[in-house]
Amino acid sequence: EPEVTQTPSHQVTQMGQEVILRCVPISNHLYFYWYRQILGQKVEFLVSFYNNEISEKSEIFDDQFSVERPDGSNFTLKIRSTKLEDSAMYFCASKTGDQETQYFGPGTRLLVL
């Protein structure tokens, strides 16, 4: 069964460094998402991406964040200058154009020191 994959599974970085989290959505899906879950808190929406542009973003998704679909398969989340509070699990999700269910990847655990 097709699934969303994410790399790396874990990333440790120093505050102020740039990180890029990578996702490969399910191949026939058209909508792509990033969510995050800070330890002990809810899963929070960051951004949705469709037709090569951002379709929705939350207040969390400020100028330090950006997303890109550099080729036909990858979907990336970049954090330009990481802060301690960016430490969280980051989940990528995708869905088709005609169904509502979003399918999630296994997540990347980001730790900012």
**Minimum gap (Å) between residue 16 Cβ and another protein:** 27
| Interaction pattern, residues 14-53, with another protein; x per rule: CB under 8 A | -----------------x-x-x-----xxxxx--x-x---
Number of residues that bind another protein (CB under 8 A): 26
β-bridge partners, 11? 110
Can you say whether the dihedral through the CA atoms of 29, 31, 32, 35 is positive or negative? negative
Please answer whether residues 90 and 9 qualify as being in contact, where contact means their C-beta atoms are separated by less than 8 angstroms. Answer: no
Nearest-angstrom CA–CA distance, 87 and 101: 27
The contact set with another protein (CB under 8 A) reads 4, 6, 31, 33, 35, 41-45, 48, 50, 55-56, 58, 91, 95, 100-107, 109
